[in-house]
Structure 1
Amino acid sequence: MRLRGIKLRIETSQGEFGFQYEFSRGLTVIRGSNSSGKSTLFNCLMYGLGMEELIGGKGEKVLPYAVKEFFVQGETKIMVDTSEVFIELENSRAQSVTLRRAIRDSVRQPKLVEVFDGAHLTAGVELGTPKPTFLFDPGSAQKQEGFFQFLEGFIGYQLPQVPTTSGGMAKLYLQTIFAALAVEQKRGWTDYIANAPFFGIRDVRIRVTEFLLGLSVFERQAKRAKLDAEAVLIDSDWRKAYDTLRQAATANGIVIEGLSTTPTSTFDPTTVLLVKSDGKLKTSLADQVSLLRAEHSLLGEKAEAYGKASGAEAIQELEAASSELQHLSVLHERATTNLTLQKAALEDLRVLFAETSEDLERNKTALKLRNLGAQMELTVAVDHCPTCHQEVDDTLLLGIVSGPQMDLNTNIEYLDSQRRMLQNQINGALEEIHQSEIALTEVATRLAKTHDYRNSLRGDVSNGAVESRAIVRRQIQIELELSNLQAFNAQADALMVTFGEVADRLAANQLDRRALPRDVYSQADLSRISLFEKNFRSNASSFGYESADIKDIRISLDSLTPILAELELREIRTKVQTSLTADSSASDFVRLIWSYLLALYQTSSTRGFEGHHPGLLLMDEPGQHSMRSISQHALLQLLSGQAGLQSIVAASFDENESVFKEATAGLDYKLIQWEGKVIRPLAT
């Protein structure tokens, strides 16, 4: 992508003001003093591209007051009525568009970006009917009407999905890519890829580097993310089927045995047992159906002989029912008491688990603080008093308990094992409670049925009925129970098929997961990273980096940033440091950032290693910390010599003509500069 030109138009009561400039396809140097409006031009450029988040916020509030409130011309203070910025872009397919975005306007909001076809600024193409797009609202990076979605397509990108800090996936938003393409003056030179907006992307700097270098990691991440999503769905489907079976089983007083609560790829339906339980005895469904049918048949025989039965036989049946009722009442009371005790024990286990977890975290925190103190060489962190030099006990319980005490590491291991044991006990208690609830339900059902049967027998005896209502009631109950068991059995058979299908899906998922490469980067990726490392070291040498031996610098495979002896090369920020060889002076750290950003393009543009760099670099005041002019010359020379790279550098060159001439001597570049302020009447 190329930036062809920029125009700021400000309407006032005294006419139109602003500026308009065109950029070179190679190196463009914007020269201006620190108060002339150089950063105003740079910030307007970022604002027109919708990338003002890189300079500190969203909307027109990031821009100076001179473009939205008032500016001074000579001795006159001129108020801004309306203002807008135009940006002309060209992509690799030679398509040109002109963007228009309002800064101050009574009608058009700053979230609106109008897209016009054609080169309005450089070729004078008339503005036709705009395509309206929107910024920052939900969907601006996904919907067709969103500006970032438009810009992504215009550049030719198809941005990948990347992991987020919340465990999901999100698009690698275009603003994060531009953090490696555009460096603003205030905070941009504080990190290799600074000011990337926060979108909850995990390790965003690494993801941006991987994308620009064209590493294949995103394909594997996409496959792994797809498998992870499938695994979540598999787990959900299994648990849903399990919960359905468990609810139906509980309603029928049935216990499930041999079925895992979590998905398994080796599911065998013949190992699953569905049994009736009264808390003591367990009966298979087939046996339970046989028993119920036998009872129903026996009741039929009793019904036929009932009219001929003597009163003594009826009373004997009533006494037997009453005895059974008393027995079931005792069982019900015991089951209720047992369930109550189990729930109380579960609550005690949960309290112990919470206390153990709290103690474990306290000990881990104490150990962390001690280790940090040891790294800072604090004597108290190595169990010695800094005043009297006597030994200090490594415990949180000094003076509370007597006798031998465990040190922090041993205590952490002990508490961790205790917590795992308590968690297992809690899981076992939950299962026992579930079994007890099923048994209690079964006893309560039998108690209710026997109670109804006894009451019906009493009616039969008192009325001298020829046909027993008790027998009829019990037969109806048996028929209803048989119907429920048959329905449950059919439902269970269907769910066993579902479990088998889910198990097959899990097996396929695990097979595909094992087929994924174990290493983060493929051999092709490692070759790209190696080339990136060579380009980085070469750049650092060209820029005069001196804080460490350049040949010892490596690109870390963990962070994709420069390291020396496994320490990331950064700026020296304190006078006390543990390893001078692993740090860089302030100006040297800026040289590292130059080297890093330029190496991203160099690697991405190498034949056979093509990546996704758009061929654009924007730098505001790269000569930080009184950078030597020879280093600035080396930077501009490398930028101007990169075929296919458009670089725009805004700098004051210490407001010194000799520094400017030395930094740009012999270079092919386009110069943009002005006298006074950058905002002036557009007519001139």
Structure 2
Amino acid sequence: MLKINRLRIEIKTKEKVFGFDETFQSGLNLIASDDNTRGKSSIIAMIYYCLGFEEIIGGRGEKVLTAAFKSIIEEGENVWTVLESGAYLEITNGMEVITIFRAAKMENRDNRLISVYYSDMENIHRQDTLMEDMYVHMPNAANNKKGFHNFLETFLHFELPLVPASDDAVRKLYLQLIFSGMFIEQKHGWADILAGMPILGIKESKKRVIEFILNLDTLDNERKKDHLRSEEDNIKKEWTTVVRDITLLVEKEACSITGLPLSPKILTDLDYSKITIQKGGVHIDEYINDLTEKYNDLQALKPKIIDNFEELQIELNETEVTIREYERDITKLRDLLDSEHISIRRLQNNLEIIKTDINNNKDAARLRNLGSGLDLYTSKDICPTCHQDIADTLLPLPNHMPIMSIDDNIRHLNAQKDMLEFAMLSHKSNSEQFQSSINLLEGNLFKLRSLAKSLRSDLYQTNDSYSEAIVYKRLSIESEISNLNKLLDFYSNHKVTLEILSDRWKDYLEKKAALPENKYSQKDQIKLNHLQEYFVDNIRKFGYKSVSNLNQVEVSKENYLPAIEGFDMKFDSSASDNIRAIWAFTLALLQVSSKDSGNHPGILIFDEPAQHSIVVNDMEEFLTRIINDFNKNQVIIGITVKDSDTRRVVSELPEGKYKLIMVPNKAFQKIDKSL
């Protein structure tokens, strides 16, 4: 809830203090004058200004205010220079009362500074009154502790949602946007429904504001969907990283892994049992056991060369044969890798040519389309002399062979581009696989060459020398066992991460399944139906005549704005009926919010609602509707009572049901002293 209790404006000159000081009540408040240039809009603008909502008027800071706040103020024939100006605004949320002060012109005080007094206006200078300075219209003013709009959000017991921004970020739904659906200012506010909404980089801002005011579940569902999309992306990225890390280490140790899911899924005990790491076609545990046995056998041998010359020679020969096989395999793989690189370069060149051709054809199509507007034969591929088709090729063609048009060319070239890009991805994948195989073979080749060197050394040593081959084998096996055990430990740790990601994926799927299948919940449907009913009832009572059958009027399910047969209602509305529609919709939002537990703070401001020669009887119905149906809310209206009919309407309003603040010749009169 937001209710304005009191507004005090102070404009200080050399000798006098001018200003405005009035209280406001619940229900209807009329700020009236007998002419349209008395300062009513200046008073209303100061309410916006104190709340930091002057962007609804069309700007930021004191520049949206009139000269009376910044330069000169008139008093009869006298003109006074303004030295300082500002305003105090006392507001309540139904439980707490605060007073806001914001300067319009004041030396050494920036207009973005707002002082908040935690008391009513009469007691702001008491010693026990707490005062706090805050800022507005600066970065993070809607989020930081000292940001005034962050404070105001808390004071109003709002919980503003995060909504998509135009730069694909997510931002808070700003208060300025929300209150543009409640504060209708004079210059721009009557152009269209929510016309005064400032541009603050929020996607579909009108739609988001209506969702918030009505407290639609769609807003919460959209927020949940955004959160789930973010969670899905995070799980997939983390899952891919874990799988990649495991796969890289497995391949580094010349092993293979099967059963490891490449994308997130709910893993069961059966799934975990299917994940196996092998080396040489043998399960890694069995392979480590075999290595351990070989190591133990080597431990039992004395590292001496006794009578094993023939065995050493045979082993050396077998090792050299394997080395040559590895070298041949590496050479073949390098040739294949070079071939892939050549293919990739060729495809890249072809892609560049295709892209250039596509751009050229698109430019030609644009020029053709521009030329067709001039009705030129050449732009239509027709000879201007003989009126025969012009072929866009100089090559001789068989009779009746069709020539592709520019549009066909573009489609054909796009298809070729897609095919080349797919082929490039395939060649890049092959290239990566060949490089991985080369790295693995080169690692094994290094070990074999080291072994061969040790065997040759043993063959030429004396019989009582130590066997380098046996020592090398021991060290090699010991190192391999150590590396494979590290691999198992690494996999075990990452398996825990996979278990956590699997649980998160399960939670994500459960939350996704819990979202409603339809865009609108049952409560949303009821609220939107009520919005349509209230709106149609309002425009009927306010004398809307642009549509003969008001049963055709509906609230669009796409943007929640009034429509007729799917089209914006304003296109079929006269200027005065457009004003009636703004009255009706602004009131309907508050009506639905009050009926169906929405977020509307319960305040409306209309500056000069009698625009475009509104019939006085309709204006009377508008004011009567506010008095009868909105007495628990607060409605402030700036109105000119120049003609007799309008004066009669105001004078015949039920006594005690509204407050009339009559503005004299000038809104700002001499006051006794400043607060």
Task: Find the counterpart in structure 1 of residue 392 from structure 2.
Answer: 399
Could you say what secondary structure the match of 1:36 adopts?
coil
Tell me if 1:589 matches 2:575.
no
Q: Which amino acid aligns with 1:474?
A: K
Task: Find the counterpart in structure 1 of residue 534 from structure 2.
Answer: 535
Q: Deviations over 1:507-557 (max 9, x none)?
A: 332233122211121222212211111111122122222222322111111
Could you say what secondary structure the match of 1:330 adopts?
helix
Q: Which amino acid aligns with 2:392?
A: G
Tell me if 1:667 matches 2:653.
yes
Tell me if 1:681 matches 2:670.
yes
Q: CA deviation at 1:220?
A: 3.0
* Shift in alpha-carbon separation, 1:463–1:390, aligned structure 2, 3 A: closer
Task: Find the counterpart in structure 2 of residue 577 from structure 1.
Answer: none
Q: CA deviation at 1:463?
A: 4.8
* Partner Cα distance (2:356, 2:624) in 1: 60
* Partner Cα distance (1:677, 1:366) in 2: 65
Q: Which amino acid aligns with 2:593?
A: S
* Partner Cα distance (1:563, 1:408) in 2: 40
Q: CA deviation at 1:232?
A: 3.3
Task: Find the counterpart in structure 1 of residue 608 from structure 2.
Answer: 621
Tell me if 1:452 matches 2:453.
no
Q: CA deviation at 1:304?
A: 5.3
Q: Which amino acid aligns with 1:488?
A: L
Q: Which amino acid aligns with 1:657?
A: D
Equivalent residue in structure 2 for 1:443, among 441, 454, 457: 441
- The worse-fitting range, judged by mean Cα deviation, of 478-487 and 297-306 is 297-306
Contact 2:31/2:663, CA 8 A, preserved across alignment: no
Contact 1:456/1:470, CA 8 A, preserved across alignment: yes
Q: Which amino acid aligns with 1:650?
A: G
Q: Report the identity percentage.
A: 28
Could you say what secondary structure the match of 1:190 adopts?
coil
How many residues align? The count is: 650
Task: Find the counterpart in structure 2 of residue 339 from structure 1.
Answer: 337
Ranges in structure 2 where 5+ consecutive residues have no aligned partner: 383-389
Q: Which amino acid aligns with 1:568?
A: D
Map 1:3-402; keep pairs closer than 5 Å: 3-32=4-33, 33-93=35-95, 95-120=96-121, 128-165=129-166, 169-265=170-266, 268-276=271-279, 285=284, 289=288, 292=291, 306-310=305-309, 317-346=315-344, 399-400=392-393
Contact 1:29/1:671, CA 8 A, preserved across alignment: yes
Contact 1:120/1:126, CA 8 A, preserved across alignment: no
* Partner Cα distance (1:619, 1:146) in 2: 27
* Partner Cα distance (1:418, 1:387) in 2: 32
Task: Find the counterpart in structure 2 of residue 644 from structure 1.
Answer: 632
* Partner Cα distance (1:230, 1:471) in 2: 55
Q: CA deviation at 1:468?
A: 2.4
* Partner Cα distance (1:357, 1:552) in 2: 50
Contact 1:307/1:467, CA 8 A, preserved across alignment: no
Could you say what secondary structure the match of 2:547 adopts?
coil
* Partner Cα distance (2:379, 2:146) in 1: 71
Q: CA deviation at 1:361?
A: 9.5
* Partner Cα distance (2:587, 2:362) in 1: 43
Tell me if 1:563 matches 2:563.
yes
Q: Which amino acid aligns with 1:514?
A: A
Q: CA deviation at 1:505?
A: 3.0
Q: CA deviation at 1:585?
A: 2.5
* Partner Cα distance (2:361, 2:70) in 1: 56
* Partner Cα distance (2:274, 2:101) in 1: 70
Q: Which amino acid aligns with 2:49?
A: Y
Contact 2:115/2:134, CA 8 A, preserved across alignment: yes
* Partner Cα distance (2:215, 2:648) in 1: 36
Q: Deviations over 1:422-478 (max 9, x none)?
A: 665555445433432321121111122223233334444455472222332233122
Contact 1:633/1:662, CA 8 A, preserved across alignment: no
Quote the RMSD (CA, aligned, Å): 3.9
* Shift in alpha-carbon separation, 1:58–1:361, aligned structure 2, 3 A: farther
Could you say what secondary structure the match of 2:101 adopts?
strand
Q: Which amino acid aligns with 1:438?
A: S
Q: Which amino acid aligns with 1:639?
A: I
* Partner Cα distance (2:278, 2:350) in 1: 34
- The worse-fitting range, judged by mean Cα deviation, of 584-593 and 456-465 is 456-465
Map 1:465-614; keep pairs closer than 5 Å: 466-549=465-548, 550-571=550-571, 583-606=572-595, 609-614=596-601
Q: Which amino acid aligns with 1:252?
A: E
Q: CA deviation at 1:206?
A: 1.5
- The worse-fitting range, judged by mean Cα deviation, of 411-420 and 361-370 is 361-370
* Shift in alpha-carbon separation, 1:41–1:380, aligned structure 2, 3 A: same
- The worse-fitting range, judged by mean Cα deviation, of 11-20 and 462-471 is 462-471
* Shift in alpha-carbon separation, 1:91–1:504, aligned structure 2, 3 A: closer
Q: Which amino acid aligns with 2:525?
A: L
Q: CA deviation at 1:369?
A: 12
Contact 2:112/2:135, CA 8 A, preserved across alignment: yes
* Shift in alpha-carbon separation, 1:680–1:200, aligned structure 2, 3 A: same
- More relative contact order, 1 or 2 (CA 8 Å, 6+ apart): 2
* Shift in alpha-carbon separation, 1:72–1:246, aligned structure 2, 3 A: farther
Q: Which amino acid aligns with 2:433?
A: Q
Contact 1:553/1:564, CA 8 A, preserved across alignment: yes
- The worse-fitting range, judged by mean Cα deviation, of 543-552 and 326-335 is 326-335
Q: CA deviation at 1:87?
A: 0.6
* Partner Cα distance (2:489, 2:639) in 1: 79
* Shift in alpha-carbon separation, 1:512–1:57, aligned structure 2, 3 A: same
Q: CA deviation at 1:107?
A: 3.9
TM-score when normalising by structure 2: 0.84
Q: CA deviation at 1:86?
A: 0.6
Q: CA deviation at 1:178?
A: 0.4
Task: Find the counterpart in structure 2 of residue 575 from structure 1.
Answer: none
Q: CA deviation at 1:421?
A: 5.6
* Partner Cα distance (1:356, 1:539) in 2: 60
* Partner Cα distance (1:360, 1:270) in 2: 52
Q: Which amino acid aligns with 1:625?
A: H
* Shift in alpha-carbon separation, 1:490–1:417, aligned structure 2, 3 A: farther
Task: Find the counterpart in structure 2 of residue 635 from structure 1.
Answer: 622
- The worse-fitting range, judged by mean Cα deviation, of 586-595 and 501-510 is 501-510
* Shift in alpha-carbon separation, 1:245–1:191, aligned structure 2, 3 A: farther
- The worse-fitting range, judged by mean Cα deviation, of 520-529 and 399-408 is 399-408
